[in-house]
Structure 1
Amino acid sequence: MSEDDRAAIVEKIIKQAKRGDRASQKLIVDRIEPPRKGRAAPFPLPPIKTATDVVGALATVTAAMAAGQLSPAEAVEIAAVIETARRAIETQDVEVRLHALEERFK
């Protein structure tokens, strides 16, 4: 497809959208602001600052799934985010301990 062909197609879509063609309008809007995938968690997660907080956050997700606020797939996705937070906390803890050991043996 040539650049001229592309320009002609885009021009036609814009004209159709201006005339009220819903499909053309949706095509343009979807390119400007793509539809968001998923949804925000329908409940507040507790803060996750320590490894202990992870247990409470996972319990909150499990309870929300059991109550029907989340599908099992949504619960798995949120649990993966919580797991990422746990790994970050763990990595930070290891770094702090390593730094303390290095300072001790200087």
Structure 2
Amino acid sequence: MNKRKPGFQPGQSGNPAGRPKGARNRATMALEKILEGDAESILRKAITLAQDGDPTAMRLCLDRLMPSRKDRPVTFDLPEIQTTDDLPKATNALLQAVASGDLTPSEASDIGKAVDAHVRAIEAADLHQRLLKLEEQTAR
């Protein structure tokens, strides 16, 4: 027996708009309230521990001062892709960059997605031009 609340359809969110922008998590707000008066002294203690060589406190302070980057700019020679015939040169350049260690596999994958989108745009433009030519020919 299926026990659904009336008015809700399968696959339909009860809150389609999602959480409003700027809304804060209740647990975060509760922790902030608890730490409200002690945050500065706790921070000073963490800094003192880090200065005294505590590796956990060091990591905590460094993570806040300089968070790890999600992405990094990558530089490598990617041949220009003007037609779909240029695609094998581009994918070969990606594979060579991974093989030589210039790119990580995940970086190559991300770049490959961009290359794929570019190729699809070339194909769509080419198809559009072909349709225009066909329409011109049939209009005569």
C-alpha separation between the residues in 2 aligned to 1:64 and 1:43? 7
| CA RMSD of superposed structures (Å) | 3.5
User: After superposition, where does 1:29-40 map in structure 2 within 5 Å?
Assistant: 37-40=70-73
Number of residue-to-residue matches in the alignment: 101
**Equivalent of residue 55 in structure 1, options 88, 95, 119:** 88
Name structure 1 gaps, 5 residues minimum.
1-26
> Deviations along 1:70-96, whole A, 9 cap, x unmatched?
111111001101001100000011000
Determine which structure has the larger helix proportion and give its number.
Answer: 1
Q: TM-score, normalised by structure 1?
A: 0.65
**More displaced, 36-45 or 81-90?**
36-45
Structure 2, unpaired ranges of 5+: 1-63
Quote the residue 1:90 is aligned against. 123
Question: What is the aligned partner in structure 2 of residue 78 from structure 1?
Answer: 111
State the structure with bigger RCO (CA 8 A, min sep 6), 1 or 2.
1
Larger radius of gyration: 2
36, 39, 42: which is aligned to 2:75?
42
Match of residue 17 from structure 1:
none
Counterpart of 1:67 (choices 100, 123, 129) is 100
One-letter code aligned to 1:103: E
Q: Taking structure 2 as the reference length, what is the TM-score of the superposition?
A: 0.51
1:2-60: CA deviation from partner (whole Å, max 9, x where unpaired): xxxxxxxxxxxxxxxxxxxxxxxxx8xx9xxxx96412222121111110111111100
The residue that corresponds to 2:47 in the other structure is: none
